[in-house]
Structure 1
Amino acid sequence: MAVVIDRELLGDINEPNIEAINYAIQELQDRRNHLDKLSDYYNGKQEIGTHKFTNSNVQASNIMVNHAKYITDMNVGFMTGNPIKYTAEKGKDINDILEAFKNIDIHKHDIELEKDLSVFGYGYELVYLKQTDPVSTRDNNGREKLTPNTEIRIEVVDPRATVVVTDDTIEHEPLFAVFIQEKLALNGQNDGYSVTIYMPNRVVEYRTKSSMNLSSTDRIVYDGENLFGAVPVIEYRNNEERQGDFEQLISLIDAYNLLQTDRISDKEAFVDALLVTFGFELAADDEDLKALKRGLINAPPKEEGADIEWLTKSFDETQVNLLSQSIENDIHKVSYVPNMNDEKFMGNVSGEAMKYKLFGLENLLSIKQRYFFDGLRRRLQLIQTIVNIKGANDDASGCKISLTPNIPFNLSDVVNNIKNADGVIPRKYTYSWLPDVDSPQDVIDEMNEQDAETIRKNQDALRQQDPDRLELEESQDDSSEDNKETQSDNNHSKRTRSI
């Protein structure tokens, strides 16, 4: 989450301000526990794991059903299951940017980034240049020389180790970013921290001795130029509040796990029930105790009031199951993520019915992608700067970003709608209803080619069956064309004479 400060307090934004940096680091440490809790819930380290009964003799089963992971994984799949597509504005070129994305495997990167957004509510990525093998070239005299070479790289960085500082204007322009990495000695003990400051035109890395906070005595291990001309750490938001997809559901998740734990504990208590005798004592040796454990119980004496039975705690399983389903339904209702294992969520429902079942999810994804696109546009600007420095002429301004949610849809309904709209709505618009179609005009061109190929094949087949008839039709067609040309020439001559 970005830290906001007054721009005037920094002075030169390309000179490290120790006081401002330490302020940002302190803000990062203050939110660390909250972020750790969200990460633990996704990884299955939830509150139910520490649950204990008041009676120390009773062992808690501690059943954990990881709804947090289910919600995040489903949202990540829905959001980034299909690659994000970029289309340059008419008359502009972004081919070098797209080539850089291809080399980075940007789709895999976007999946990892969306996971952080879903868990923490916001995420960070670092755009940087990686030094690679130098390129061999020759000068005017034919002598070989090695030219330094770099490649564009993008990596997801942990929000628990990263903070971006922005100004206090309504645009919240990034001023600098801080990335902290713990250093360990060979024995695994803490050996200080690496604190890297990313400024618009400069990158400085400090090495501290023990604390994360910087001091004037900490040494600088790297001081280099930032060729991007802007802070290369980009913050992405999951929503306006920067909340994770399951952050507001933690109480429901805890309640569901506790209920399931109690159900299993009640079952175990039922199996380990006490045997109670009435009106007599049960004196048993070792053999009798073994028999009791196997359920072999001798009949009680035939005395008045004598009896023997198991002492168990009765519970209404129907009511418990109803409460369990109610909590689970609330989890899916509030998260907008449907329960794919629900019997009502069948695969044979119509496309229109499927839309209503996924209506809440589609609304959620539309909000998420609006905030996601803000970061993607900043990414395009940073990559454009570097590819143009390398000699390209890309222009990503006005670039169209499209994201197709990876959710179930009924393709037959889409095709039927396109067929029914043919002749009423231009095909350039109806073909855009098809999923994974960026350019409807390309589909139209392919359909025309397909129709021409079909006509050619039909003519070939007809020629083989009745060649004389086909030649006659072709000659008639040619004669008709000649007559049209002759008539056109005559008309032209008449108009010329009249003039």
Structure 2
Amino acid sequence: MQNTIPQEHRFDLEANRQYQVPISFFNSIKDNPMQLYETAYKFIRHHIDRQVPRLKELMKYYLADTKIKSWAGSPNPDNAHNRVSTGFARYITNIRVGYFMGNDVQYKIVTDDDSEKQLSKTLDDLITHYNDSSNTPYIDEMLKKDLSITGRAYDLVYVNAGETTLNLAKVDPTTCFVVYDDSIKAQPLFAVRYYQTGVLDELLQENYEIYTDSMIYRYHSDGGLPQTNSPVNNAVLDSAEPHFFERVPLTEYKNNDERIGDWEPEIDQMDALDKAISTMANFQEDFNDAAMVATGRFANKTKPVYEMDDRGNIKVGKDGKPIVLVPPKPIIDPKHHIFYLEPYIARTGLSKGQRTVVTPTLQYVTKQYDSAGWSTYTNFLINEIHKYTNTPNVNDPNFASNASGVAMSYKLWGSDQERKIQEALYKRSLRARISACIAYWNKINALPGENDISVLADMVKPNFDPNLPKNDEETAQLVQTLSGIPGLESMKSLREITQRITGVSPDDEQQRIDDEAYEEAKKSDDYKNGRTGIGEVFATGEPAQVKQPKGDK
């Protein structure tokens, strides 16, 4: 921030390029592991040099390690040099993650074919077990976090060696990417994950994994980072293993079509806010350490240091006065609250024959700062960041906690527009994840019969429920009003509304109602047929069982 003139481009123009290759070219190399690696490494080189710097800088902003940390500040080394970085990026990301993923994604299996009821029940059980064992709710939150920061996120469906249980992992965006074909649909051809292993800075080894729609290729090259060796020449193929996902199992998620983060366009505003706050912090510290100016003569002074002879007596000069080595100095300690000053007579004029009495004063020399203007400026920046990132400002005095649902909807209107786009993109990637899982379950016969993977994937409907503050009283009044209007709302629709209060899904609520009705019917039938109380003795012909009181033998 040494230069206030903005740069032409903050990031490399290639920092967000989507990788593509012609499908015909890929088909010519996909069965040759080393040729595939040579092509993949060209993208790895580009990813490291042109794309990773942007991803790392965005992550630094999330961690409040912003550009202000390199600000030179005042050229005077005696002035304060505070570099205060705000956590605005982290605040926006946490709000977005909580709003989008605060409630777990719910999966419903939808089918109108009665012959597929059992299949849908099996598929529902498999997905439920997979989500529980793989901890997908947490991974979904971390994926949304990466999306909010970098604009892209990646997950990997995999199976551990010697096991058949599916797993899911989030992959660091700085270590992986997906390469698509050059068609309109841009279907994934292969994905690359690369990482380094070693013992601290010793025994370094670069590892590479390439995932196609049928194979997993693993390579390594010794020597550490790609900048320090020649991986194309040194890379060794370690293994080539088939997988049964029928698609590339490493999936990319996009925050939007541009693959930019939630607050990335407002980084300049954040930098300006950091600089404004740092400037005020420096002013306050310089104000506390302001220079003191005294006019007059200090009454409390140090004792002079005289020149002494060999006997320890004070030497006297030719003028008959003691020879002073160190003259007396005023005793000034800013920590003291009391200073003793006295007026003195100063000789003035051309001949210094005039005498003037100097009245003592003591004051600090400070510069004036427009604190009101500073407050207006910082509030302007804060409001601009909130506005252009569509993030509600909970400190806004108009953002009342008791506001009606309509008022809250208007406050979140901008956020909902972005959420709708992000939800559609997230669902598209979720379908790819679910398709890989279904293909694997079908391959190991966890699903009965011969199945069309695409049809089964279409049956799985993910549902997103935004995590918003709840107004239970208003919701209850709405349900009561709607339930009094015949034919306006179905009971299932009303149960979907009350789910916000009870937390029970409409299907679970219906099951509870059916269970209660069954129990009531059973009790009524038992009573009518004498299977309760004394009537049970006559109905069954068996002697009554009388319990002995405790303590009796």
Same fold (TM over 0.5): yes
| Corresponding residue SS for 1:430 | helix
Q: 1:293 aligns with which of 335, 346, 355?
A: 335
1:216-227 equivalences under 5 Å are 216-227=233-244
2:141 is aligned with what amino acid? I
Percent identity (aligned): 25
> Are residues 1:204 and 2:239 paired?
no
Residue of 256, 265, 273 corresponding to 1:239:
256
Distance 1:89 1:453, change over 3 A: closer
| Residue pairs, 1:54-453, within 5 angstroms | 54-90=75-111, 91=116, 93=120, 94=123, 95-132=125-162, 149-184=163-198, 186=199, 188-189=201-202, 191-210=204-223, 212=226, 214-278=231-295, 284-285=301-302, 288-301=330-343, 303-304=357-358, 307-393=361-447, 395-422=456-483, 423=486, 424-435=488-499, 440=506, 442-443=508-509, 446=512
Name stretches of at least 5 consecutive residues in structure 1 with no aligned partner.
133-148, 458-499
Contact 1:279 1:306 survives alignment (8 Å): yes
Structure 2 residue identity aligned to 1:334? Y
**Distance verdict in 2 for CA 1:208–1:284, change over 3 Å:** farther
Partner amino acid, structure 2, of 1:18 = Y
Seen in structure 2, the aligned counterparts of structure 1 residues 187 and 444 have a Cα distance that, compared at 3 Å, is closer
Q: CA RMSD in A?
A: 2.8
Letter in 1 for 2:159: L
Q: CA deviation at 1:214?
A: 3.7
Matched with 1:4 is: 20
3-state SS, counterpart of residue 131 of structure 1: coil
Pair 1:28-2:82 in alignment: no
Structure 2: runs of 5 or more not aligned:
1-15, 304-328, 345-356, 449-455, 524-553
Instruction: Give the direction of change, closer, same or farther, for the CA distance of 1:285–1:172 in structure 2 (3 Å limit).
Output: farther
Mark the CA change 1:190 to 1:273 in structure 2 (over 3 Å): closer, same or farther.
farther
Change (3 A) 1:39 1:305: same
| Displacement of 1:160 | 0.7
Shift of 1:219: 1.4
Deviation at 1:106, TM superposition (A): 0.9
Checking the alignment, whether the CA contact within 8 Å between 2:157 and 2:249 is kept in structure 1 is: yes
Q: Is the 8 A contact 1:13 1:175 kept in 2?
A: no
Q: Report the AA paired with residue 38 of structure 1.
A: L
- CA displacement at 1:435 relative to structure 2: 4.1
| Inter-CA distance 108–187: structure 2 relative to 1 (3 Å threshold) | closer
Amino acid at match of 1:177: A
| CA distance in structure 1 between the partners assigned to 2:22 and 2:187 by the alignment | 11
SS of aligned partner of 2:427: helix
State the distance in 1 between where 2:419 and 2:277 align.
Answer: 31
CA distance in 1, matches of 2:19, 2:494: 46
Name the larger-Rg structure: 2
The CA deviation string for residues 334-379 of structure 1, in whole angstroms up to 9 with x for no partner, is 1111122444323222222222222222222222111111110001
Gap change, CA 1:187 and 1:84, over 3 Å in 2: closer
Deviation at 1:57, TM superposition (A): 2.2
Bigger CA drift: 1-10 or 266-275?
1-10
Structure-2 separation of matches of 1:454 and 1:418: 26
RCO greater where, 1 or 2, for CA within 8 Å and sep 6 or more?
Answer: 1
Range with bigger deviation, 382-391 or 202-211: 202-211
TM-superposed CA distance for 1:329, in Å, is 1.0
1:152 alignment partner AA? L
Aligned residue pairs total 441
2-side partners of 1:300 and 1:127: how far apart? 84
1:198–1:204: 8 Å Cα contact kept in structure 2?
yes
Contact 1:431/1:443 (CA < 8 Å) preserved in 2?
Answer: yes
Aligned to 1:478: none
Distance in 1, Cα, partners of 2:147 & 2:219: 28
- The Cα of 1:79 is off from its aligned counterpart by 1.0
What code does the residue aligned with 2:244 have? L
Query: For residues 246 and 377 of structure 1, what CA distance do their matches in structure 2 show?
Result: 27
Amino acid at match of 2:23: R
> Would the alpha carbon gap of residues 347 and 447 (structure 1) be closer, same or farther in structure 2, given more than 3 Å must change?
farther
Cα distance change on mapping 1:168 and 1:58 into 2, 3 Å: same
**1:296-327 Cα distance to aligned partner (Å, 9 max, x none):** 22235162576442111111222211211111
